[in-house]
Amino acid sequence: MKKEKIVLTYGTFDMFHVGHLRLLNRLKNLGNKLIVAVSSDEFNEIKGKKTLIPYDQRALIVEHIKCVDMVIPEHNWEQKVSDIEKYDVDIFAMGNDWEGKFDFLKEHCEVVYLPRTENISTTQLKLELNKFLDIYEK
Ligand code: C2G
């Protein structure tokens, strides 16, 4: 029986948007099982990232994306090697804003960085929302 090709990625996925979706779809196409580690609220504090949407809702949305097979929590920077071993991961992959940052994982599995989707980010969405509120909700 041919082993499934398992892909693993990590992220906050706050205010889920098409940049996240396009990444996850491309990641799934690298193999045939996609595991997504969603950053916990506590870990986002450590990352210095303020999230709008709490972990349980961010994880639930990602879990229901068609190309996602499993969601696990991301609690810290250090869990990646044990996750790769625990889930028998073949490919660790991230958007290329992380280019090179996780090359140390190459001794455990393939490491792939894919181009980010241009002109969309959670930060940009927040800025646009503020402009929208200023104009229409004053
Ligand atoms: N992404 C993308 N295109 C965008 C925005 C994000 O491809 N326009 C990708 C990022 O490159 C990342 C993933 O979507 O691979 C999730 O992005 P974030 O939620 O911003 O995750 P991040 O804060 O980078 O957390 O241990 C790794 C960290 O948890 C990654």
CA of residue 2 to ligand 1 center, whole Å: 31
User: How confident is the model at residue 2, as a pLDDT?
Assistant: 77
Testing ligand 1's pocket by substitution, the residue of 7, 10, 121 carrying the most ligand atoms inside 8 A of its CB is: 10
Share of the chain above pLDDT 70, in %: 100
pTM for the full model? 0.96
Share of the chain above pLDDT 90, in %: 96
With left for phi above 0 and alpha for psi between -120 and 50, is residue 15 left, alpha or beta? Answer: left
Q: Half-sphere exposure (CA, 13 Å, Cβ side) for 133?
A: 6
What are the pLDDT digits (tens) for 41-96? 999 999 999 999 999 999 999 999 999 999 999 999 999 999 999 999 999 999 99
